[in-house]
Amino acid sequence: MSILIYAEHDNHELKADTLKTVTAAQAIGGDIHLLVAGENCSTVVEQAAKVSGVSKVLVADNAAYKNQLAENVSLLVLELANDYDVIMATALTTGKNFMPRVAALLDVAQISDIIAVESADTFIRPIYAGNAIATVQSLDAKKVITVRATAFDAVATDGSAEVVNLSQATDAGTSSHVSDEFTESERPDLGAASVVISGGRGMQNGENFKLLEGIADKLGAAIGASRAAVDAGFVPNDMQVGQTGKIVAPDLYIAVGISGAIQHLAGMKDSKVIVAINKDAEAPIFQVADYGIVADLFDVLPELESKL
């Protein structure tokens, strides 16, 4: 069995979640290669070569892959696909975007967002926002799979894979990159943070999210939000935790003024320890919380910050 994993990165840094996708690949078993497609991405290649369990790193460093446009990246992966039985990517922005294109071009049904490997052709994945868990067998000879990274541990980084440069530079010519608008933050990435503190509709407005910042600074936490807080316009969508936002599983998740709608729980219920702060004792969030405080968040937050 040979497995190709698409490395998720931003031309500077290999996303740590790729290390977790390697663990998923090891559960399937086989010779594992990483593909780094980008432009001026040599630091990513260096990091990729150190990922344990990987025997080879394929590098497509070309302007055509600078922004990892789905049209171009899918054609690249398609060209390489002949040599592999399994093609995998992390279910993050890039992987979710281009992988179904690869599957369709290979005439394969993709298995999305797996959380466990049962056997080489059978996988476990959440459906209905995690309210049901499906065991799915792929009947295609070649497998195209995306991986929910929070469900797997990361491999170590003490490997030394062979680096092979590719000459591919296919530009489909149908799409082009216009601009990026990234949220500037000194805090850890929501998906990678070991502590996450999230605010919901109970925060009342965007200004009050400042109350979370002091606590986040003390705990080295990322700040998230429920869909209700995003819909109400308190904070931008990239802070959203839930079925329709980010899926997180930190060591500690603090839900502040969040009622605990199904769609929010789907994004955080695999956290190791959950704390709920809510003045409504009946809020469903308390049914999943390890520790709850039934109190006004505007009293609790300043006190919590001072006592950490």
Q: Which of residues 67-96 bind other proteins (CB under 8 A)?
A: 67, 69-71, 74, 92-93, 96
170: Cβ–Cβ under 8 A, 6 or more apart, which residues? 64, 72, 75, 76, 79
Q: Going by DSSP bridges, is the β-strand pair 122-127/116-119 parallel, antiparallel, or unpaired?
A: antiparallel
Kindly identify the residues of this chain, within the stretch 96-115, that bind other proteins according to CB under 8 A: 96-105, 107-113
Euclidean distance between CA atoms 275 and 291, whole angstroms: 5
* Number of C-beta neighbours around residue 119 at 10 A: 10
- Cβ closest to other proteins, residue 13 vs residue 46: 13
Q: How far is CA 23 from the centre of its chain?
A: 15
Using the contact rule CB under 8 A, the part of the chain among 20-28, 123-131, 159-167, 203-211 near other proteins is 123-131
Q: Binding marks (x or -) toward other proteins, 257..286, rule CB under 8 A?
A: -----xx-----x--xxxx-----x----x
Least CB distance from residue 160 to other proteins, whole Å?
Answer: 29
Pairing between β-strand 162-165 and β-strand 195-199 as defined by DSSP bridges: unpaired
Please identify, using beta-carbon distances, which residue of 156 and 291 lies nearer to other proteins.
Answer: 291
Count of residues in the chain: 308
Q: Binders of other proteins among 198-237, rule CB under 8 A?
A: 219, 227, 230-231, 236-237
Q: Which is nearer to other proteins, 167 or 174 (CB)?
A: 174
Rounded CA separation 222/146 (Å): 25
- Report the DSSP beta bridge partners of residue 90: 147
Touching other proteins, residues 50-69 (CB under 8 A): 67, 69
User: C-beta of 281: minimal distance to other proteins in Å?
Assistant: 8
Q: How far apart are CA 137 and CA 19, in angstroms?
A: 24
Residue 11 per-residue DSSP state: S
CB 166 to other proteins: min, Å: 21
Compare residues 82 and 177 and give the one whose CB is closer to other proteins. 177
User: Of residues 134-193, which lie at the interface with other proteins (CB under 8 A)?
Assistant: 134-140, 172, 174-183, 189, 191
Cβ–Cβ under 8 Å, residues 277 and 303: no
Tell me the binding residues for FAD.
201, 226-227, 240-244, 257-264, 278
